[in-house]
Amino acid sequence: MIGSLEAALRMRGFVPTVADSAHLWAYHRSRVVGDDAGLVVAIGTSRARTDLRPDAMHECLPSHRFVQLGINGAASPLDLLAEISRIPHFRGLVLCDLLPPLMDRNQRSEQSSFVRVPSDNVQAPSAYLQGLLSERLAVLDPALTLRRCVTAQGVLRPKPDGPQLRVHADRTLDITYASPESLKTSTELRQLYYADLYAKLKRYKSIEEFKQAVASVADSVARIQRNGGQVVFLRLPAAGARLELEESTFLSTPYFSALADVTSAPWIDFRNLAGKEAFDCPDESHLSLNGARAFTTRLVDDLRRRGLLIEPGDSQPTRR
């Protein structure tokens, strides 16, 4: 009976997805441990979840472990970076998705509902096991209700409007759109939201004032570097009006360069990577599946070129 219902749902366009939750996040947070030089941890926003693909990462770095700790929303991951820096003997690589507006301490609270969940909570493994099942069976989608899915004609159909979000058990996020019209509407609404948000954000009088505001980040980076780990700040892809908005509000180069000066941690701008023409952003903010795979591959190439990855048999990376 379950198989028949699953087949009916798949025929009508439903796909399996996982309910992202603080407990699922906590399970993956529990996998971030010390004394593992082959650990790569992604922190940041939904861009980290869509743009950094674990399959491409594994293909490029088969001996490494990739853990996805990105959290949706316009919030800073710098408190999470500080928490990771306090893990005894943490020697991994932290890929930190960040934009200058999110470097302000006032933008860090939104991630706390995830970050403050105990990583040893008994519900965390259960959430992951449930995720493994939900990733394979559309019938287990908790949002799948008759009230939502039955149309006036009595036919089960996915929700037609807005972005279609598919979450995997490893917390990777796929974003697709049912039609060009839904893509256009969603992109325009997101642009209006962020234009309003950025208009309210703190402005710095000078780069020196900005450096003082991010001085505490240097302590987190220094703790990780002392253990032999690395932190890399990422300016992840954007396009069109969204990219123009972000750059007109806080120009990436001077602010990221100032952050690098304060923390001694490098930063990577997607526009400086080879093959950036393949980084397709349909909604101007998140990469397509193929674009994300291309970006992940190019990012790993650049990390390796810079000497920021610990290869098997090496004691610590050699930075260039």
* Residue 83, both tokens: 């928490």
Residue 203: the pLDDT is: 84
Q: What is the mean pLDDT of residues 42-52?
A: 96
Closest CA to 110 of 70, 143, 82: 70
Whether 319 has a pLDDT exceeding 90, the answer reads no
Q: What is the pLDDT of residue 6?
A: 65
Q: Which two tokens stand for residue 264?
A: 């001694």
Q: Work out the average pLDDT over 135-159.
A: 59
For the stretch 217-235, pLDDT in tens is 999 999 999 999 999 999 9
Tokens, residue 305: 């070129």
**Model confidence band, residue 247 (pLDDT cutoffs 50, 70, 90):** very high
Q: What is the pLDDT of residue 149?
A: 52
The residue to which tokens 């969940």 are assigned = 117
In the numeric block, which tokens belong to residue 72? Answer: 């949706």
Name the pLDDT band for 143 (thresholds 50, 70, 90). Answer: low
CB neighbours of residue 306 within 10 Å: 16
Q: How confident is the model at residue 119 (pLDDT cuts 50, 70, 90)?
A: low
Q: What is the mean pLDDT of residues 45-68?
A: 96
Burial level of 4, CB count in 10 A (0-12/13-18/19+)?
A: exposed
- Output DSSP code: residue 119: T
The CA distances from residue 55 to 32, 134, 209, in Å, are 19, 19, 41
- pLDDT on residue 17: 84
What was the pLDDT predicted at 114? 76
Q: What is the pTM of this model?
A: 0.88
pLDDT of 152 above 60: no
Beta bridge pairs of residue 253: none
**Token pair 């006032």: residue:** 106
pLDDT of residue 235: 97
Q: How confident is the model at residue 109 (pLDDT cuts 50, 70, 90)?
A: low
**If you average pLDDT over residues 106-119, what whole number do you get?**
67
Average confidence (pLDDT) over 90-107: 86
Exposure string of 233-268, with b = 16+ CB inside 10 Å and e = fewer, is: bbbbbbbeebbebbeebbebeebbebbeebbebbbb
Q: What pLDDT sits at residue 318?
A: 47
Domain boundaries of the chain, sorted by first residue: 2-305
Predicted confidence at residue 128, as pLDDT, reads 86
Higher pLDDT, 41 or 105: 41
pLDDT 10s digits, 290-304: 999 999 999 999 999
Q: Average pLDDT of the chain?
A: 86
SS3 264: coil
Q: Say whether pLDDT at 162 is over 80.
A: no
What gap in Å lies between CA 209 and CA 212, rounded to an integer?
5
Q: Is the pLDDT reported for residue 79 higher than 70? A: yes
Distances in Å between the Cα of 3 and the Cα atoms of 135, 138, 140, 262, 265 are 15, 10, 12, 57, 51
pLDDT at residue 127, as a whole number: 86
Say which CATH superfamily domain 2-305 falls into. SGNH hydrolase (3.40.50.1110)
**Bridge partners of 174?**
166
Q: What is the pLDDT of residues 251-271, one digit of tens each?
A: 999 999 999 999 999 999 999
| C-alpha separations of 160 from 13, 48, 164, 179 in Å | 10, 26, 9, 8
Mean pLDDT, residues 81-93 taken together: 94
> How confident is the model at residue 101, as a pLDDT?
81
Asked if residue 153 has pLDDT above 60, the reply is no
Mean local confidence (pLDDT), 314-319: 54
